[in-house]
Structure formats: structure tokens, C-alpha cells
Amino acid sequence: MNLSYPVTVENYPDTWIVQFIDIPGAITEGKTREEALHNAEDCLDVALLCLFDDGDPFPPTASSEGDAWVSPTAPIAAKLAVMMAWRDSGLSKSDLARRLRKSESEVRTRILNPRHNTALATLDAAARALGSRLTVDIAPVSGSQA
């Protein structure tokens, strides 16, 4: 699952504006290019969580070009991956709870609650209970020069 999206980055007097090409309304800014791209990660977190909450699909990455590519933060990417796997599984929250040997309340209020910080090991256990597993990747920070 790739949740990286291209952005445009524009320099204005006193600010840099970052706008997601494929996610209308997802826009942020910063005093420097680096700050604006860092803020774009949080902006993408919020946009993707809102889309998920509304039951809307994530937009395909239709644009192949942009000034940079931005991915959600790792905790949100992991949480969204598990939430999407659960939604696609057709299981109830109670069914997932039984598979995890946890209470339905814990699954509902913690594991499948996008606003609750869930440990990576718990998210991996949930993914495995859904027939998948979480993986980790290292990618360069948008706009960084290593």
C-alpha cells in the first residue's frame, strides 16, 4: 500500500505553500520549504483520516509529477493500513477482538480508533489476525538533500 502523494511547492513572500495535486483542499504552508514539507505530512495524515472516516476511497496517485512527494507519518500509515485491512476483511469488531483475544471495547476504542496511538506490535498483531502483516520501509524526507 503506497500512500505517497505528489505536491506542488510554491514560494511566496514570507511563506512556502504546499498543495497536494491529487487531494483537493489539502494545502499547508511553512516559513521555509523544509517546514512546509514537514507540515504537509501532518496535512496528509488529517486528509487521509478524514477520507477514511467518511468512507471515501483514497484518491489514486494520478499525477506522476510534482515538486516533491509526501507520505503520511509512520504511526498514521500503520494505523490506516490495519484499518483498511479490517474494513476490507468484512469482519466485525467483535470478530477481530476474538481473533486477537482482546475485548471488543479495546479493538473499537484503541486499535481501530484513528485518534488513538497504538503500539506497532499491537497493529502488527491485528494485521496478522486479518491475514496480513505490517512492513516497514525507509524513505528520504521530502525535500531533503542527503
For the chain, what are the domain ranges?
Answer: 5-70, 74-129
Residue 29 to residue 43: CA distance in whole angstroms? 10
Residue from 78, 92, 74 nearest 139 by CA:
74
| Cα torsion through 87, 98, 132, 51, rounded to 10 | 20
pLDDT of 146? 40
Distance of CA 5 to the CA centre of its chain: 11
Length of the chain: 146
What mean pLDDT comes out for the span 76-85?
Answer: 92
What mean pLDDT comes out for the span 134-138?
Answer: 87
pLDDT of 142? 65
pTM summary value: 0.82
Percentage of the chain beyond pLDDT 90 is 71
Model pLDDT for residues 99-116, shown as the tens digit of each residue = 999 999 999 999 999 889
Query: Picking from 6-10, 55-59, 76-80, which range would have the lowest pLDDT averaged per residue?
Result: 55-59
Question: In the CATH scheme, what is the code of domain 5-70?
Answer: 3.30.160.250
pLDDT of 92? 96
Q: In what order do the strands lie in the sheet with 5-12?
A: 27-30, 15-20, 5-12, 68-70
Residue 76 to residue 97: CA distance in whole angstroms? 21
Res. 85: pLDDT tops 50: yes
Name the 3-class secondary structure at 5. strand
